[in-house]
Amino acid sequence: MAEIIVVTSGKGGVGKTTTSASIACGLARRGKKVAVIDFDVGLRNLDLIMGCERRVVYDFVNVTTGEATLKQALIKDKRFDNLYVLAASQTRDKDALTKEGVEKVLNDLSADGFDFIVCDSPAGIEKGAFLAMYFADQAIVVVNPEVSSVRDSDRILGLLDSKTRRAESDGEPIKANLLLTRYNPQRVETGEMLSINDVEEVLGLKTLGVIPESGDVLNASNKGEPVILDLESPAGQAYDDTVGRLLGEDRPLRFTTLEKKGFFSKLFGG
């Protein structure tokens, strides 16, 4: 059976699609067979970040409505033979997805030998977000370390606990992990940004990863290359650490504290 991971948040613009793309690539790089699905019907950004936007012929909605087969709609990644993208529709509205249609796609992917299915959720609590989380086995809750993002994510945790298949059937709860993005230790030090402990305390979640604030993320997205593929970048390294922890590896958190300046750098203003 495939492990279904939903990447979710209460607030838009926190880095869900960047995270979905990087997690999927990181798992594929470790030899796992992975499908990553864009649930954001009407907008569709995952294919841009994955660099396959020109190859989209059929989309997720086409498959759920029977207008195309899953095989026709899945796009094989150009970097990893074991990674596939299922794009969202840009021309349908958010009610185009149905619970039955989504369930069939997930079951078919599982039957086809996929190890992981990564569901890239739209922000908020509308239908696409509900369907992205409904069948999940675990959730990665993406949060910026600021108050409104944390508050909105708390609402998402309530839905994960009450409005999913596992909750309705009294099954094991969905395992939720915290992923902090755009983290800046200097701003934490000056009190402009919440600390890791602050966010963990409010949400009651354990931190899976901390992604430092970095221009490399935007540059990678503009090139259609998930930032995890740039292992020179602190953000790429932090995403790779995150995937390692997801698979049970023991990785220390990096890029979370201010570097102490040495004597000479203080003396010469370095």
Residue pLDDT tens, the chain, 270 long = 999 999 999 889 999 999 999 999 999 999 999 999 999 998 889 999 999 999 999 999 999 999 999 999 999 999 999 999 999 998 887 788 999 999 999 999 999 999 999 999 998 888 899 999 999 999 999 999 999 999 999 999 999 999 999 999 999 999 999 999 999 999 999 999 999 999 999 999 999 999 999 999 999 999 999 999 999 999 999 999 999 999 999 999 999 998 765 555 555 655
Q: What's the CA gap between 212 and 15, in Å, rounded?
A: 12
Q: Which residues are annotated as a binding site?
A: 11-18
What pLDDT does residue 270 have?
54
The torsion angles phi and psi of 90, rounded to 5 degrees, stand at: -95, -15
All residues at 6 or more sequence positions from 60 whose CB lies less than 8 Å from its CB, including other chains: 37, 38, 39, 41, 73, 86, 87, 88, 89, 97, 105
Estimate the crossing angle of helix 127-134 against helix 147-162, to 10 degrees: 60
Binding site members for ATP: 11-18
Angle, helices 234-246 vs 215-223, to 10°: value is: 80
What is the reported pLDDT for 94? 76
Asked if 235 and 214 touch (Cβ cutoff 8 Å), the reply is yes
Q: Which two tokens stand for residue 53?
A: 């936007």
CA 161 to each of CA 9, 30, 139: distance values in angstroms, whole numbers, following the listed order: 14, 30, 11
Show the domains of the chain with their CATH numbers: 7-14+16-247 (3.40.50.300)
What's the one-letter identity of residue 62? N
Report the 3 state secondary structure along 83-111.
Answer: EEEECCCCCCCHHHCCHHHHHHHHHHHHH
Distances (CA, A) of 269 to 8, 111, 128, 227, 236: 42, 60, 51, 31, 29
Measured on CA atoms in the order 154, 168, 4, 115, is the torsion positive or negative? Answer: positive
Q: What's the pLDDT score for residue 56?
A: 96
